Amino acid sequence: MTKVAVQFTLNDEEQNEFVDSGSTLLAVLRGKLGLYSTKAGCHQGSCGACTVIIDGEPRLSCLTLAQRCTGRMITTIEGLTRDGALHPLQQAFMEGFAAQCGFCTPGMILAAKSLLDRNQSPSRDDVIDAISGNICRCTGYEPIIAAVLAAAEQMRAEMKKSA
């Protein structure tokens, strides 16, 4: 198997890796970098469990070839916690019981983060659209939608305070 060099920024840290040509970002994150929060579900784009943020947009890491990530900024859920403090989305998911088994949670939170980064006052429909590519098989979507809306409110309040 041919190895190729890839360089990208992962959760604000430079990564230089030799990876198998043709391997997916998901395989590199889990298999090479040991970042198991990015979940491997369907490997065909249907479940959203492998969602990461690349250059500000949600992407499916199972369908992203690692070699194409050179020069990109990638965020996985490990990159959301700052100095041990949870991101408001993580906090809201925890407080609102928006995770049961947790398998869909990293993908859900990153899909929601891509929305909140662009739109601080999302409507319920905006949230439904943002997570429409992410499947949850146990919590149910209502607590997840409520948690995203609660996190948005919290983030707006924090911004107001710091303004």
Partner 1 sequence: MSVMLEAARQIRLVPALQAKGAMIVAGGTLAVAELNYGQGADGTLIILDRLGLDRIAVVGKKATFGAMVTMAEIARDRRLKFLHPVCNSIGGPAVRAMATIGGNLFAPAPYGDMAASLLALDAEITIHDGKSAKKYPIEVFFRQRKKLERCLVVSVSFTLPASGSFRYSKAVRRKPVSASVVTIAALLPRRGGKVVGARIALGAMGSHAIRAYKAEAALEGRSLDSATIAAAAAQIAEDASPADDAYASAWYRRQVVPIHLARLLAA
Ligand X SMILES: Cc1cc2nc3c(=O)[nH]c(=O)nc-3n(C[C@H](O)[C@H](O)[C@H](O)COP(=O)(O)OP(=O)(O)OC[C@H]3O[C@@H](n4cnc5c(N)ncnc54)[C@H](O)[C@@H]3O)c2cc1C
Smallest gap from residue 18 Cβ to partner 1 (A): 14
How many amino acids of this chain bind partner 1 (CB under 8 A)?
Answer: 32
Cα distance between residue 75 and residue 69, in whole Å = 12
Give the residue, chosen from 33, 73, 86, 128, that forms a contact with partner 1 under the rule CB under 8 A: 128
Give the residue, chosen from 94, 138, 157, 159, that forms a contact with ligand FES under the rule CB under 6 A: 138
Smallest gap from residue 38 Cβ to partner 1 (A): 13
Cα distance between residue 76 and residue 53, in whole Å = 7
The answer to whether 45 contacts ligand X (rule: CB under 6 A) is yes
Which residue from 38, 36, 75, 37 is spatially nearest to 55, judged by alpha carbons?
75
Given the DSSP bridges, would you call strands 73-75 and 51-54 parallel, antiparallel or unpaired? antiparallel
The answer to whether 46 contacts ligand X (rule: CB under 6 A) is yes
Residues 78-97, interacting with ligand X (CB under 6 A): none
Q: Which residues pair with 73 in a beta bridge?
A: 9
User: Around Cβ 130, how many Cβ atoms within 10 Å?
Assistant: 22
Alpha-helix runs per DSSP H in 5-140: 25-27, 88-95, 105-118, 124-130
Q: Which positions touch ligand FES (CB under 6 A)?
A: 40-43, 45-50, 60, 62, 99-105, 136-139
Q: Which positions touch partner 1 (CB under 8 A)?
A: 1-2, 4, 21-22, 24, 43-45, 48, 51, 57-60, 62-65, 67-68, 111, 114-115, 125, 128-134
